[in-house]
A = this chain, B = another copy of it.
Amino acid sequence: MTRLLYALCGEDKARQFSPHVWKTVLSLAHKGLDYETVPVAFTAIPEIEGGCTKTVPLLRDGDRLVRDSFDIALYLDEAYPDRPSLFGGAGGQAMARFIENWSQSTLHMAITRIAILDIHGMLAPADQAYFRRSREERLGASLEEIAAAGRDEIEAFARKLQPLRNMLKLQPFIGGGSPLFADYIVFGALQWLRLTAGVEVLKNDDPVAEWYGRLLDLHDGLGRNAKVA
């Protein structure tokens, strides 16, 4: 096996919760490519593959090393053009950048606030110390203060997904009739929330919950079978 996916993990190496890694997990399944997962804790990331990255996912594909979930998706479409496309053409590739930035600026900060103490609780002691220090410095508040702000985010969360909810009246996936990388981008955020805080932010009959359910079911329930706790 020459294909390796370096994936963030908790103290329990089977608990893989990074939203960005989940985008790549579904991207690789979409392309029908086998690989081996290498679980990596936060503080171990700088040591992998000779220190070539500060973040995961990192994909090794034979001699190639590719960082960043979007760049990995671009690489996969280029390297495996005969497999199903992740973007559906040049327009889809460009617009997926809008959706990436929408997901990042609308959903990720809210999920960080909601889940920050849960994520901290999943980590080994050395990673907990790193996580606390780096996040408190980045966000200018203690983890506990951030989490307190997170309680308001839970109720407000469903409304942030209104553009997706409205779009789902017209088509079952962001990619249209079937999912594309743009779906995996937003899926990654909701999967991250489910696998860390695990709070219910969507009603069962919410079209967004149904869309998320369809993505959880893909590839024999690849997303649904992820280890929760």
Which A residues have a C-beta under 8 Å from some C-beta of B?
85, 87-102, 104-106, 162-164, 166-167, 170-171, 173-177, 180, 182
Chain B residues whose C-beta falls within 8 Å of the C-beta of A98 in the assembled complex: 95, 99, 163-164, 167, 174, 182
From B92, B104, B106, B167, A92 is in contact (CB under 8 Å) with B92
Q: Is the CB of A95 within 8 A of B170?
A: no
13 residue pairs from A and B, CB less than 8 Å apart: A87-B91, A88-B89, A88-B91, A90-B176, A91-B176, A94-B174, A94-B180, A95-B95, A98-B174, A100-B167, A101-B164, A102-B102, A105-B166
Chain B residues whose C-beta falls within 8 Å of the C-beta of A102 in the assembled complex: 102, 163
Report the nearest B residue to A175, measured CB to CB.
B94
Chain B residues whose C-beta falls within 8 Å of the C-beta of A92 in the assembled complex: 88-92, 94-95
Report the nearest B residue to A177, measured CB to CB.
B94
* Chain B CB within 10 Å, residue with most, of A89, A93, A100, A106: A89
14 new A-B contacts at CB < 8 Å, known A92-B95, A94-B177, A104-B166: A85-B91, A88-B91, A89-B90, A91-B92, A91-B93, A91-B96, A92-B92, A95-B96, A95-B99, A98-B164, A98-B182, A101-B166, A104-B163, A105-B162
